């Protein structure tokens, strides 16, 4: 809309410099965001200098961010390209929010659109991936998506717009560049109007996908229900669709499970309760009566410590409050554990359960495996991954938080000092 405030993402390349020129001439309220990823030495600094010069000459506010992209990629164990993408889009949205702008403009064009579809085709993403790049998605707009690369080059020359070429765009070691440099020219030999014809095909793919979703979405809404940090599906509700692999693929498409994984799910459906299936970002647990889906980031091995001086400590989405006193009163609330202080070995550890864990549940006879305790409580694998286990410094389990203390560490007539732990969810 003409009154929108637009944050322009400008790298210094011909497409983003054309976009900046057009917005500046159109009279929109704009600002420029430029990322210096510090990957190309002086070339990165020269890109920044060019964008700064344009902003000054056109009286446009500019915001520049320097990133240690290589360190970020190493820390997060991802590629440099993925690191740069995560860094820039996170910063763009933060900046947009701080400046109270309406939209973020990205200068992708028709050839980027086509390259994305071909790349997705090579990766087997199905119809969903064949829709390519959307001109508007949430706060992001792509106003040049209708222009071919050759048309952008023409307009840049016509308006005399200064720009810089990123030399990495000419290296075929990157898959996208290989598609642009080595593959698309062969298509153009077969069809000189390749970009226009392929754009028509992308529109057909979109229409087909939308038609498919009109059928699938009502089923998906009926099946999936929200749970803490994920989704659940009752097996009896999914049963009628289990023999239809293409439909299963679409039903679970939001979680990126491949057809091969879903085929394994079909095989395990009635025989392997407790099995976990993986996509790039999700775990799916086949439980006795339900399927549970969680993002991988929620299943983490992080530990927290409770020292003799700790008053508050956090673990995952739990908060523990600790207090030492001589109060021997029994509290029956499940979120409270009162432990005999003198038999504790500090620091105590809060962690997830481990295979082989066992304890002496308060009110029960003898030792019990934690896995059996969870089964008796009908606690799924995903749930037990996120239940805090409080462990003594000698390795004994003290408390399955919010479920059961260990009998060996309860307060007795001989107890003189008590550690009270209160476990609350954030």
Q: What is the mean predicted confidence (pLDDT) over 18-25? A: 96
Q: Given pLDDT bands bounded at 50, 70 and 90, which one contains residue 302?
A: low
Mean pLDDT of the region 393-409 = 94
Q: Are residues 117 and 256 in the same domain?
A: no
Distance CA 68, CA 19 (A): 27
Q: What is the pLDDT of residue 300?
A: 46
Q: Does 217 reside within a domain?
A: no
For residue 390, name the pLDDT band (cuts at 50, 70, 90).
Answer: very high
My answer on whether 237 and 173 are in the same domain is no
- One domain for residues 283 and 311: no
Residue 46, domain CATH: 3.40.50.620
Give the CATH number of the domain where residue 385 resides: 3.50.40.10
**Among candidate residues 272, 297, 322, the one where a domain is terminated:** 297
Q: Alpha helices of 58-123 — where are they, by DSSP H?
A: 69-76, 80-99, 110-123
Mean pLDDT value across residues 292-308: 72
Q: Round to whole Å and give the CA distance between 370 and 360.
A: 10
**220 lies in some domain:** no
51 CB-near residues (< 8 Å, 6+ apart): 10, 11, 12, 17, 32, 34, 62, 64
Instruction: Please report, for residues 110, 313, 328, the alpha-carbon distance to residue 273 in angstroms, rounded to integers and kept in the order given.
Output: 47, 35, 43
Domain termination site, one of 297, 315, 348: 297
- Residue 283 domain boundaries: 228-297
Longest CA pairwise span in the chain (Å): 92
Domain presence at residue 185: yes
List the one residue out of 364, 423, 354, 362 whose CA is nearest residue 395: 354
Q: Are residues 276 and 308 in the same domain?
A: no
Contact 18, 156 (CB under 8 A): yes
Q: 212 in a domain, yes or no? A: no
Other CB atoms within a 10 A radius of the CB of residue 332 amount to 5
Q: Residue 14 has what pLDDT?
A: 95
Residue with tokens 């003898």: 366
pLDDT, tens digit, for every residue of 59-112?
Answer: 999 999 999 999 888 887 788 888 899 999 999 999 999 999 999 999 999 999
- Whether residue 293 is found in the same domain as residue 314: no
292 and 409 share one domain: no
What residue has token string 């962690």? 351
Residue 138's pLDDT is what?
87
Query: Which of 174, 196, 218 is the last residue in one of the domains?
Result: 196
Q: What is the pLDDT of residue 317?
A: 82
Q: Residue 397: inside a domain, yes or no?
A: yes
Nearest to 48 by CA among 38, 57, 58: 38
How far, in Å, CA of 384 to CA of 54, rounded? 56
CA dihedral 71, 74, 78, 84 (to 10 degrees): 10
Residue 297's pLDDT band (boundaries 50, 70, 90)?
A: low
Is 209 among the domain residues?
no
pLDDT (mean) for 195-220: 94
Residue 337, strand partner residues: 421
Q: Which of 6-20, 142-156, 223-237 has the lowest mean pLDDT?
A: 223-237
pLDDT average, residue stretch 338-359: 90
H/E stretch holding 219 reads helix 194-223
**Could you give the CA distance from residue 32 to residue 1 in angstroms, rounded to a whole number?**
18
Q: Does a structural domain hold residue 90?
A: yes
- Residue 310: band (very low, low, confident or very high) from pLDDT cuts 50, 70, 90: confident
145/276 same-domain check: no
pLDDT for position 370: 92
Answer left, alpha or beta for residue 59, where phi above 0 means left and psi between -120 and 50 means alpha: left
Q: Of 115-124, 236-245, 288-297, 395-404, where does mean pLDDT reach its minimum?
A: 288-297
Query: Same structural domain for residues 19 and 155?
Result: yes
pLDDT at 217 over 90: yes
What pLDDT was estimated at residue 299? Answer: 45
In a domain, residue 61? The reply is yes
Averaged pLDDT, 345-366: 89
Q: Same structural domain for residues 176 and 256?
A: no
pLDDT for residue 27 is more than 90: no
Q: Are residues 33 and 80 in the same domain?
A: yes
Residue 301, pLDDT above cutoff 90: no
Neighbours of 69 (CB within 10 A): 21
Q: State whether 144 and 31 are in the same domain.
A: yes
Residue 1 pLDDT greater than 70, yes or no: no
Mean pLDDT over all residues of the chain? 90
Q: What pLDDT does residue 218 have?
A: 95
369: helix, strand or coil: strand
Q: Which residue has the higher pLDDT, 385 or 162?
A: 162
311 and 178 housed in the same domain: no
Mean pLDDT to the nearest integer, 136-159: 94
CB 29 within 8 A of CB 6: yes
Provide the domain count of the chain. 3
Burial code of 390-419, b = ≥16 C-beta within 10 A, e = fewer? Answer: bbbeeebbbbbbbbbbbeebbbeeebeebb
Reduced to 3 states (helix: H, G, I; strand: E, B; else coil), residue 55 is helix
% of the chain beyond a pLDDT of 90: 64
Nearest residue to 407 (alpha-carbon basis) of 364, 375, 370: 364
* Residue 36: strand pairing partners: 66
């Amino acid at each position: 809309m003409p009154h929108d405030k637009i944050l322009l993402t400008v790298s210094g390349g011909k497409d983003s410099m054309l976009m900046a020129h057009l917005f500046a001439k159109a009279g929109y309220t704009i600002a420029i965001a430029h990322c210096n990823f510090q990957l190309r030495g002086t070339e990165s600094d020269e890109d920044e200098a060019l964008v700064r010069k344009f902003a000054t000459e056109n009286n446009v506010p500019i915001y520049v961010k320097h990133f240690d992209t290589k360190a970020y990629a190493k820390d997060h164990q991802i590629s440099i390209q993925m690191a740069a993408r995560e860094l820039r889009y996170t910063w763009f949205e933060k900046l947009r929010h701080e400046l109270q702008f309406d939209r973020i403009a990205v200068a992708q064009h028709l050839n980027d659109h086509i390259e994305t579809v071909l790349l997705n085709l090579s990766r087997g993403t199905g119809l969903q991936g064949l829709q390519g790049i959307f001109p508007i998605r949430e706060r992001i707009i792509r106003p040049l998506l209708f222009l071919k690369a050759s048309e952008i080059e023409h307009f840049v020359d016509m308006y005399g717009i200064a720009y810089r070429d990123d030399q990495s765009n000419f290296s075929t070691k990157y898959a996208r560049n290989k598609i642009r440099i080595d593959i698309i020219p062969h298509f153009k030999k077969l069809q000189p109007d390749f970009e226009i014809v392929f754009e028509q095909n992308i529109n057909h793919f979109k229409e087909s996908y939308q038609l498919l979703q009109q059928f699938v979405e009502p089923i998906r809404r009926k099946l999936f229900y929200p749970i803490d940090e994920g989704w659940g599906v009752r097996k009896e509700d999914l049963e009628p669709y289990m023999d239809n692999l293409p439909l299963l693929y679409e039903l679970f498409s939001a979680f990126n499970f491949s057809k091969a994984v879903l085929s394994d799910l079909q095989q395990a459906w009635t025989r392997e309760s407790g099995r976990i299936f993986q996509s790039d970002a999700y775990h799916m647990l086949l439980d006795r009566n339900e399927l549970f889906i969680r993002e991988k980031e929620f299943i983490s091995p992080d530990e927290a410590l409770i020292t003799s001086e700790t008053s508050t400590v956090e673990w995952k989405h739990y908060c523990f409050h600790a207090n030492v006193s001589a109060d021997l009163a029994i509290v029956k609330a499940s979120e409270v554990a009162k432990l005999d202080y003198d038999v504790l070995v500090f620091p105590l550890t809060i962690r997830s359960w481990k295979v082989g864990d066992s304890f002496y549940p308060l009110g029960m006879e003898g030792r019990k495996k934690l896995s059996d305790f969870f089964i008796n409580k009908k606690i799924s694998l995903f749930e037990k991954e996120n239940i805090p286990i409080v462990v003594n410094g000698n390795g004994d389990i003290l408390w399955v938080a919010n479920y059961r203390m260990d009998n060996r560490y309860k307060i007795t007539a001989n107890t003189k000092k008590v550690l009270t732990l209160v476990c609350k969810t954030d």
